[in-house]
Structure 1
Amino acid sequence: MSAAPFHLLLVEDELADALLFQDMLAEQDQDITVHHVQNGQEALDFLTRPDQTSRPHLIVLDLNMPIMNGHEFLERVKAIPEVRSIPVLVLSTSEHPSDIHRAYDQQVSGYVVKPGNYQEYMHVLETIRAYWRGLVRLPSLEEVIRGRVGS
């Protein structure tokens, strides 16, 4: 897998879920930096702040959150040219077909239902890490800033 640092934005309102995600991911890969925010508004604020050096390579998004839920976040973030090319992976407890369909309509890169036990969760995170960290090629931050992506 790639040895370059990888930045991930975790948008999750449940602190216990966020800590579990971060701990399990750290067991698999020490070169992944996770920045955690608790709702869509905090995620938008993080993504649109003037300091562009910490743009994530991947956004992992819960749907059911206070203040600004995941669907509202997707509507807003996909309308911002400077950040709309950042892939978004939904990680939600919702298996409802309308949530899944709506998320894909809002241009998510994937939709994963949160597993029910530790072993399944570890497998899901390993698969996510292997795919986004090793298999997929993502645009560089410089390409995104210069507008080569998404134009």
Structure 2
Amino acid sequence: MSSAPFRLLLVEDELADALLFQDMLSEQDQDITVHHVQNGQEALAYLCEPGHPPRPHLIVLDLNMPVMNGHEFLTRIKALPAVRSIPVLVLSTSEHPGDIQRAYEGQVSGYVVKPGSYPEYMHVLETIRAYWRGLVRLPSLEEVVQGRAGF
């Protein structure tokens, strides 16, 4: 596992779900910083903010949100060269095949259905953390900025 700080952008409209996610994740790894926003519009504003906030290593996205839902957010972010290479993981209650298909067509890196119990949720978050923090290699910010990240 990497010991370097890991930045995650959580796009989730339900405050209780966001707090649970953050609490469970912090139990597993203190080096993960979670920035929470409540919808796709807030996420876009954060990612495109002047002064460039720290680029997240991963975006965890709910689909069903007010203002701008997850599908709309995916369409917008994947059209922006500066941020389109950030991996997006959908974490949704929806098991609808249409939502899953549309998410992958929108270039998500993965789709996970929110589990119904605390132990299952802990297992899901541990798996997500182990995969994104330990197994995969992500492009560095410098590679993305210099255009070497394979756009």
- Verify same fold: TM over 0.5: yes
CA–CA distance in structure 2, aligned partners of residues 4 and 25 of structure 1 = 16
CA–CA distance in structure 2, aligned partners of residues 143 and 46 of structure 1 = 21
Does residue 81 of structure 2 align to residue 81 of structure 1? Answer: yes
Deviations 1:9-42 (A, max 9, x none): 0000000000000000000000000000000000
Partner of 2:17: 17
CA–CA distance in structure 1, aligned partners of residues 114 and 150 of structure 2 = 29
Q: What does 1:25-104 correspond to in 2, within 5 Å? A: 25-104=25-104
Partner SS for 1:54: coil
Q: Percent identity?
A: 83
The answer on whether the counterparts of 1:82 and 1:147 sit within 8 Å (CA) in structure 2 is no
Which stretches in structure 2 are left out of the alignment for 5+ residues? none
Aligned residues, how many?
151
Counterpart amino acid of residue 110 in structure 1:
G
User: TM-score, normalising length from structure 1?
Assistant: 0.98
Partner of 2:122: 122
Which stretches in structure 1 are left out of the alignment for 5+ residues? none
Q: CA RMSD in A?
A: 0.8
| 1:49 shift after superposition | 1.2
CA–CA distance in structure 2, aligned partners of residues 150 and 44 of structure 1 = 22
Partner SS for 2:68: coil
Partner of 2:134: 134
